Amino acid sequence: MKQKALKECEYYTSRYAECASGRTLSVVWQCRKQARDLNEAVVSLSILQSCLQAYVLLGFRNPWLVIL
């Protein structure tokens, strides 16, 4: 699932890769925003996919009931 999420979030992955290119230790503070954006995108996509899987498996009519 993580690989699929990274593929779906390719925009954020490429932004982080561009920032990190040629850096070593400074990537931690220089690319903090890009890393945070990438992490948020991957997490939100993973949560959404988990909810939709539960929706399909459990047969809920409203997918947001899974969250509650």
Task: Give the pLDDT confidence of 11-65 residue by residue, as tens digits.
Answer: 888 898 999 999 889 999 999 999 999 888 877 877 777 766 666 666 655 555 5
**pLDDT at residue 10, as a whole number:** 85
Counting other chains too, the contacts that 35-43 makes at CB distance below 8 Å and 24 or more residues apart are 37/12, 38/9, 38/12, 38/13, 41/5, 41/9, 41/12, 42/2, 42/5, 42/6, 42/9, 42/12
Q: What is the C-alpha to C-alpha distance for residues 55 and 68, in angstroms, rounded to an integer?
A: 12
Query: What pLDDT band is residue 67 in, cutting at 50, 70 and 90?
Result: low
Q: Reduce the DSSP state of residue 48 to 3 states and report it.
A: helix
